[in-house]
Amino acid sequence: KRTLQRDLKEIRNVFGIDILDYNTNRTLILLTILALLDGEVVDKKDFNILCSDSLRLKANNVFPRNPRGKFNFIVGNPPYVKFQDLTNEMRAFLSTGWYSINQGTFNLFYAFFELGYNLLTSNGRLGYITPNNYFTSLAGQSLREFFKSKKCLYKIVDFNHKKVFDAQTYTAISFLGKEEAHNILYDRIRESLSPSSFLNNLAFSSISLDGQMSQKWRLLKSDEQNNIKTIETIGSPLNKLFDIRVGIATLKDDLYFI
């Protein structure tokens, strides 16, 4: 059974920022109920929950109980907002000073990955639920380059095309750390599995982060990697057997230029 002292300590070590007052109020209510269940009466000063825009804040100026502004663990479900749906003022703000969104269009959650990474302690860990299209989308190239340069992305749980939440997007859980990682532990849900069964039976494959191209990531399970390696290395390449020249394509099956 948890002691009253531990409950109060846990509450004082929870720090949170959300732009919606509904979310912050709900969090305060839940933490208060948690304390009351064990007979602990909490005061407003015991909470570190703030209603604000975290992208515009400096964390070390926000929480007196954590003056360094660094955290051992960060979890979140940052907002997914396409470039086209951002205000001109927000676009201008995000287009300067953020390495992860320094090319063309972007999604708002890219900046939250960078913010979270910057707020981690030297051995801290971060886990975010976000859309998984940042693996391959053109807009996600700067975020992929950020992950490669920092070598901070060490694990991905990919729900592929299986909808886990009541939202029009496909998601993954991405894990970051301050310690350098040269490989990503990766698992992708199979069509036959429910999300809960998948999470209870994770089987990670190791993928080289250094070997991923910034233009598009090829995230594959071990058996898929082996199959592709076999296909690419078996036999002799066609250009070793024949003298192949590039012609002019007309896009008409019955018409050719020589």
pLDDT at 124: 95
pLDDT at 252: 67
Each residue's pLDDT expressed in tens, for the chain with a length of 258 residues:
444 455 677 888 899 999 999 999 999 999 898 888 878 888 888 899 999 999 988 655 688 888 888 999 999 999 999 888 999 999 888 888 888 987 778 999 999 999 999 999 999 999 999 999 999 999 999 999 999 999 999 999 999 999 888 777 899 999 999 999 999 999 999 989 999 999 999 999 999 998 898 888 989 888 888 888 788 788 887 778 888 776 666 666 676 655
pTM score, two decimals? 0.83
Task: For 119-141, write each residue's pLDDT tens digit.
Answer: 999 999 999 999 999 999 999 99
User: What is the CA 192 to chain-centroid distance, rounded?
Assistant: 25
| Adjacency order of strands within the sheet including 205-208 | 71-76, 120-131, 171-177, 153-158, 183-188, 205-208
Taking the C-alpha atoms of residue 142 and residue 245, their distance in angstroms, rounded to an integer, is 36
User: What is the CA 234 to chain-centroid distance, rounded?
Assistant: 36
Query: Which residues in 105-210 belong to E strands, given as ranges?
Result: 120-131, 153-158, 171-177, 183-188, 205-208
pLDDT at 136: 92
Q: What is the b/e burial string over 181-211, where b = at least 16 CB atoms within 10 angstroms of the residue's CB? A: bebbbbbbbeeeeeeeebeeeeeebebebee
Task: For 79-119, write each residue's pLDDT tens digit.
Answer: 999 888 999 999 888 888 888 987 778 999 999 999 999 99
pLDDT at 1: 43
HSE on the CB side for 176, CA within 13 Å? 29
Distant-in-sequence, close-in-space partners of 35: CB < 8 Å, separation ≥ 6: 7, 8, 11, 41, 42
pLDDT at 19: 93
Taking the C-alpha atoms of residue 198 and residue 156, their distance in angstroms, rounded to an integer, is 13
DSSP state of 39: T
Tokens 């490669």, residue? 148
By CB atoms closer than 10 A (0-12, 13-18, 19+), residue 73 is exposed
By CB atoms closer than 10 A (0-12, 13-18, 19+), residue 100 is buried
